[in-house]
Amino acid sequence: MGSVWIDPRGSEVLERQECLRLLYLGAREDEGCGHDAAAPCAGRVPRVGRVGFSLDGVPIILPVNYGMVDGDVVVRTGEGVKLSSASDHAIVAFEVDGVDLDAMVAWSVLVRGLCTELTDPDEVTMARNATPHPLVAEPGDRYLRIRTGVLSGRRFALASDLLRAGPEGGASA
């Protein structure tokens, strides 16, 4: 199933290919709903990942929509700290996780790799086509590629009482 080994707490440590499969799965979460690229699917929210980088020695973690192109993560952004970080060819982190209630498992994948701004028109077009409709009202029009240089991931079983717990953690009626 794509695991390297099971840690002492029962989490599967995932192989690179399984990490990539989960990244692609998350990036395509809204596919199949018949939408065009200009509008999000009704009732569906694209998966949100987090990009982490250092700015003047201070760690910054920001939520982003993402897509996948040729095995690398791509994100849409505007002027600001993400873009300035990429222009320096920084090593960044990208993390995304998911929950499969049918299988009662959760997973998390961490990417660490070089971040660059896409400037080639063909690469920009591929990134635009791969990324979901942004959640922000005024999205930027620049694209970043995060190379999947180092991948790690885990999958673990959800607590059996998770679905029965109410908002206060007790059993729901």
**Across 6-10, 79-83, 135-139, 145-149, which has the greatest mean pLDDT?**
145-149
Within-domain flag for 158: no
Rounded average pLDDT over 108-127: 95
For the chain, give the percent of residues with pLDDT over 90: 43
Whole-model pTM: value is 0.80
pLDDT of residue 168: 57
Within-domain flag for 110: yes
Within-domain flag for 160: no
d(CA 112, CA 93): 5
Within-domain flag for 39: no
Q: How far is it between the farthest Cα atoms of the chain?
A: 56
Q: How many domains, the chain?
A: 1
Within-domain flag for 71: yes
Q: Which two tokens stand for residue 77?
A: 């952004």
